[in-house]
Amino acid sequence: MSISTHKAKSLVQRSRAVLSNTVKRFRDDERGNVFVFTALSLPVMLMAIGAGADYAELYRARVNFQSAVDAGAIAAAKNLAATGQVQTSKDIGEEVFRSNLSHLGEKAVREGQINFDMGDGDCAVQGVITTATLPHDRFFSLSFVDQSQQKGFGANKIVKGQEEFILSASSTVECGNDTIEIALVLDNSGSMRWNGKIGTLRQASNSLVETLHTTMGSANKAIQFSVVPFAATVNVGTNNRNEPWMDTQGRSSTHWEMIDPSTSTDFSFSGGRYLQSNGQALSRFTLYDSLPNTSWQGCVEQRPHPYHTQDDTPSISNPDTLIVPSFAPDTPDNWDNDYNKRLSNIVVGADPHCTRFQGSKNGRRTIRYCNRWSDNRRGREHYTNPSYRPHWDDRIEYNRGNLIRPTNTQQVWEDYQRIDEKDFQNNYLDDAHNFDDKNGADHVKSEANTGYASGNQYKRQEWINKYFTDDGGNRPSVGNSNPLGMGAGPNSMCSSVSVSDLTDNKNTTQAKLTSMQASGATNVQMGVAWGWRTLSPGEPFTEGRPYDAEDNKKIMIIMTDGNNTYYPTNIYGNQYAQDNKSFYGGHGHSVKGRIFDGYDGEANPGHNSQTFTKAMDEHLTETCTNAKNAGITIYSIAFDVPNGSSVKATLEDCASSDVGGGKLYFDANNNAALIDTFEKIAERLADLRISK
């Protein structure tokens, strides 16, 4: 047990006083035998007391001295790892060393000596080798005290007659003995555009990568990073289109959730998938390939619950574990205050299914005539046809096929059905309102009061034929009605750059971080799920070491600047196709209820922003728990998030705990705080070990 210098001195003073009084009493005692005996034993008693005080003080000094040396060595190594500057690192190490010597008094601070050997400045090659000495006072100048025992306490030089011990200590700091895999799961949503936040994130994350690569070195892939930017969805990269873990055959239960191949006679269902006439599987990739001027940009949907919160290996034997490419369906056409028209009092030879629109849109709707094409396709407006006449030209609409012309006596146009949907977003195709269905009754789809809620128009959203070239060689158009200012089309809500798999190439990682852009909604859970998958040794990404690899750490750093978001149809005053209940996102349209699978908060959840956020928070908590149980250490950061936001509590719960029980959660309330937070995390992960 250590005792303080003050207590040691007091003990010696009291001992001397007691002995002095005892000697005086014994000297005055007339019984001479006692005095003689005491006189003979007194030197031994004094030596025992003095030696005990010296040993206690020496032990205390030795412990404090070694701690100061260790602290100086670590400080020097951390700076060397981060900067490579040898002299500056030595200065910092010495400053920390002397600061920690203050417990031993001013003389120790003044006379302690420390030396750092840093080689050529590469901390990962040699580390920092530190030696130090410290002269320390002793209370008794007893030349016959066992010097070998004192050396065991670190006093390697004891000179007869001197009043000092010379303590010595050493410390070697090795940089990065373990291997580390780090997934950077970073919010790239639209709010990150504000106040320079995306730029700050690029700076802070790049600095962390630089620091840890310098600290760990490049041998044996000591440090690897993956980058998972997320917004409304996650982009896995177009290069992975044909990977076996992608649902390239349309087998998942969610693959045809919003589009119905059974609306066409061109496809047959066999063996758990739809087949084209050429025997090839029909999938969303088939639709992408058919559309003009567009292709899959790399984003994917969530797997059905619970697989979207887990790391199950995708397998064709369990189709719901496969990864489905995102595909936002074309929402129904909306011509405000228009009516579908049809002929009544049909004469022999007239087409009873011929319809037209009253009024016009951008000068591209027919006013008077319904054209029956020679290929029996009726009423579709192919305004790209060079023979097209403007709507004010009453002669013809197209320069081919047979005109069906109403006369005053035989045929009249009648109002048939009002189209009353408002301001549809992501309406990027002409629906071809009179497409044949699989039974040949081309007008049934608009007449039947079926589909979602009460909307006759919504059946047209499911039609698959409109995504293909028609028999006349004409293609649908792509690219209007952009939702929330983002691009329209099947890639809607695919706004973030692609995932970068684990790599030890610093330049690759930093290039990906620098390319990040801010746009779209926020789905933290989807980012976490894919961050986990980059650390996992199994597919989709396979660069991660086995979970039980010796001396390997799997780390995930999550950063978001706000709550999970999923947009209802009336968000920000925009009107999506209302019966979809939400904009398209990682869970598709919420009308299908997939976003609420696994959500226990409400029996009948409403399709509104608040409930969407609650459901996504619950998914996030479940995913974090599963990842931590698999051996992932999670650091979480709330960046510029207002107090009271639900994501703060969710992120804190998501974070792992350190050895002291504290959460690895950081609340960075501004740009400077975010930079500081990444620096603190880098310092924690530097993995500097003390070996002696």
Over residues 283-305, the mean pLDDT reads 94
Asked whether residue 216 falls in the same domain as residue 127, the answer is no
Angle between helix 32-83 and helix 86-100 axes, rounded to 10 deg: 150
Task: Identify the pLDDT of residue 57.
Answer: 66
* Residue 466: band (very low, low, confident or very high) from pLDDT cuts 50, 70, 90: confident
Pair 157, 190 in one domain: no
65 and 186 housed in the same domain: no
Query: Is 294 within a domain?
Result: no
Copy the structure tokens of residue 37.
């005996």
Bridge partners, 113 (sequence order): 133
Q: Who's near 346: CB < 8 A, 6+ residues apart?
A: 352, 411
Band of residue 397 on the pLDDT scale cut at 50, 70, 90: very low
pLDDT of residue 45: 53
The more confident residue out of 383 and 256 is: 256
The SS3 call for residue 666 is strand
- The pLDDT of residue 417 is 41
Do both 28 and 64 map to the same domain? yes
Judge if pTM exceeds 0.75: no
Q: Is residue 10 part of a domain?
A: yes
Which of the 8 DSSP states describes residue 639? E
Question: Between 410 and 615, whose confidence is greater?
Answer: 615
First and final C-alpha spacing in the chain = 23
pLDDT band, very low/low/confident/very high, at 459 (cuts 50, 70, 90): low
Residue 126 shares a structural domain with residue 166: yes
Q: Give me the pLDDT at residue 174, please.
A: 79
Residue 624 lies in a domain: no
465 and 276 Cβ atoms separated by less than 8 Å? no
Which has the closest alpha carbon to 687: 3, 124, 160? 124
pLDDT of residue 103: 80
Give the mean pLDDT of 461-465: 80
Number of other CB atoms surrounding residue 181 within 10 Å: 23
Query: Residue 539, SS3?
Result: coil
List, for residues 134-191, the tens digit of each pLDDT value.
987 765 554 444 444 444 444 444 444 456 778 899 999 877 668 899 999 999 999 9
Confidence tier at 487 by pLDDT (50, 70, 90): low
Locate the DSSP E strands across 142-263: 155-157, 164-175, 179-187, 223-230, 234-235
Range 49-76 average pLDDT: 78
Together in a domain, 101 and 142: yes
Answer with the residue of higher pLDDT: 601 or 321.
321
Could you tell me the CA-to-CA distances from 384 to 109, 207, 289, 397 in Å, in that order?
A: 87, 52, 20, 12
CATH number of the domain at 514, please.
Answer: 3.40.50.410
Res 324: pLDDT: 99
Share of the chain above pLDDT 70, in %: 65
Cis peptide before 261 (omega within 30 of 0): no
Specify if 669 maps to a domain.
yes
Are residues 85 and 135 part of one domain?
yes
Residues 151 and 74 in one domain: yes
Q: Which of 322, 332, 319, 327 is nearest to 419 (CA)?
A: 332
Of the listed ranges 9-18, 304-313, 561-570, the least confidently predicted one is: 9-18
More confident position, 282 or 373? 282
Residue 522 belongs to a domain = yes
The label of the residue with tokens 């087998």 reads 251
Q: What is the mean pLDDT of residues 594-606?
A: 92
For helices 671-685 and 197-216, give the axis angle rounded to 10 degrees. Answer: 20
Beta-bridged to residue 634, according to DSSP, are 556
Query: In the structure, what pLDDT confidence band is assigned to residue 424 with cuts at 50, 70 and 90?
Result: low
E strands in 445-587: 500-503, 552-560
In the listed set 159, 175, 191, which residue is the last one of a domain according to the structure? Answer: 175
**Domain-embedded: residue 315:** no
Q: What whole-number distance in Å separates Cα of residue 500 and Cα of residue 227?
A: 5
| Residue among 295, 353, 354 at smallest CA distance from 325 | 295
* pLDDT score at 184: 99
Q: Is there a domain that residue 675 lies in?
A: yes
Q: Does residue 620 have a pLDDT over 60?
A: yes
Whole-angstrom distance, CA of residue 530 vs CA of residue 540: 9
3-state secondary structure of 72: helix
Do 88 and 203 reside in the same domain of the chain? no
Give yes or no for residue 588 having a pLDDT over 80: yes
- Examine the domain organization and report whether 24 and 83 are in the same domain: yes
632: pLDDT strictly greater than 80: yes
Residue 102: per-residue pLDDT:
86
Rounded Cα distance, 620 and 649, in Å: 11
Task: Write down the mean pLDDT value for the chain.
Answer: 76
In a domain, 436, yes or no: yes
Q: How far is residue 115's CA from residue 297's CA, in Å, rounded to a whole number?
A: 57
What tens digit of pLDDT does each residue of 654-671 get?
Answer: 999 998 899 999 999 999
128, 143, 175 - which closes a domain: 175
Q: For residue 167, how many C-alpha atoms fall within 13 Å in the half-sphere facing its CB?
A: 30
For residues 654 and 54, give the distance between their C-alpha atoms in angstroms, rounded to a whole number: 52
Q: Determine the residue type at 318.
A: N
Count CB atoms within 10 A of the CB of residue 412. 12
Backbone angles phi, psi at 218, to 5 degrees: -110, -5
* Residue 443, domain extent: 335-420+430-456
DSSP line for 297-351: -SEEPPPSTTGGGS-PPPBTTBGGGSBPBP-PPPPPP--TTEEEEEEESPPTT--
Mean per-residue pLDDT, 600-618: 93
Question: Tokens 């849109």 correspond to what residue?
Answer: 361
Beta strands in 460-550 (DSSP E): 500-503
Whether 125 and 146 map to the same domain: the answer is: yes
- Cα Rg, the chain, nearest whole Å: 39
Q: What is the pLDDT of residue 656?
A: 97
By the 8 A CB rule, do 73 and 81 touch?
Answer: no
User: Could you give the residue ranges of the DSSP H alpha helices within 341-497?
Assistant: 444-447, 458-462
Final residue of a domain: which of 121, 145, 175? 175
Q: What confidence score (pLDDT) does residue 431 get? A: 57
Is residue 546 scored above 90 in pLDDT?
A: yes
Tokens 């840093």, residue located: 118
302 neighbors 594 (Cβ within 8 angstroms) = yes
Domain count, the chain: 3
Answer yes or no: do 18 and 74 share one domain.
yes
When pLDDT is averaged across residues 250-259 and rounded to a whole number, the result is: 97
Query: Would you say 480 and 488 are in contact if contact means Cβ atoms under 8 Å apart?
Result: yes
Cα 560 to Cα 634: distance, rounded to the nearest angstrom: 14
Q: Tokens for 226, please give them.
A: 């993956």
Percent helix, strand, coil in the chain (nearest 5)? 35, 20, 45
Alpha helices (runs of H) in 217-325, residue ranges in sequence order: 284-290
